[in-house]
Structure 1
Amino acid sequence: MTSDQLEISAMTDRQMRGADCVLCGQPVRGDHVRDLGQRRDADGTRVFPRAHPECWSNEGRRP
């Protein structure tokens, strides 16, 4: 799976804002984060998903 295949509809508001990891749901820090790129959900709202680097690599995902 790549960051393009994230299920936006399953994300919480905090995950959509980039405050919580999209994989584990825990808060992320600005200096310890994998930015997954801005995207838009089905109604056009901007979403800013982020993940902990270790969560991203543990899931076998690639940049």
Structure 2
Amino acid sequence: MGPAEGDPGRGGGRGNQDEAANDLSRVSALLSDAVVAGEGRLGESLRPIYIDYLARHPDA
């Protein structure tokens, strides 16, 4: 067993690096979607739905 394999705090090797890279890619895509979500005709059309949802779910 290598030094990182037995210690969960050390990451456990390459698999966790790949998983972290995938997670960062997903977060980046979500942030990108959030930034442009309110733009264009679709954003304008959905705005009343968003406002209604937020009014009904103040903790959202």
Superposed pair shares fold, TM > 0.5: no
Structure whose CA Rg is larger: 2
TM-score, L = length of structure 1? 0.26
Which one has more relative contact order, counting CA pairs under 8 Å at least 6 apart?
A: 1
TM-score (norm 2): 0.26
